[in-house]
Amino acid sequence: MHKHLLNRVLAVALLLASAAAHAQYAWIDAKGVRHYSDQPPPTDTPAAKILKTPRGLMPPAPSPVPTPAAKAAPTLAEREADYRKRHAASEVADKKAATGQKLADEKRANCLLAARDKAELDTGRRLRADNGSREIMTEDDKAAQRARDNAVLKECQ
């Protein structure tokens, strides 16, 4: 029984070895002639023209031809420099946006103050001077304040 199993294993091993020894390739060359060989076809044979390869083997890949458009992958140092450049540009843009927002907020606050001052001046009531003293604003002071408020309100539109 043991010997019988050993014979079968040996027969299978020989069968597999002989299949590899009889590897066959089939391809059509540039002139249209069909070739059969145990050697792979020439490397310049297009994959579409290779009809048969041994099981488990891929047709030989043609030698790579360097193309001028092909660019090598960037190195780690180049990628790091590119990241730092993008990060710095992002920080500058963020600062600019924050500064622009701050200026817009200040302008909005100035517009609200100018509109409130102008409305108060237009009521005709007696008003105190802005310097904190107990003086009442004269008509000339009111006219100057109106001019300042109007100048601010022009820029608010």
DSSP string, 132-153: SSSPBPPHHHHHHHHHHHHHHH
pLDDT tens across 22-48, in order?
A: 657 888 988 888 888 888 888 888 888
93, containing H or E segment:
helix 76-122
pLDDT tens across 109-124, in order?
A: 988 888 888 888 888 7
Where do the structural domains in the chain lie, given as residue ranges? Answer: 24-60, 76-156
CB-neighbour burial class of residue 51 (10 A; exposed 0-12, middle 13-18, buried 19+): middle
Sign of the alpha-carbon dihedral angle for 144, 135, 130, 119: negative
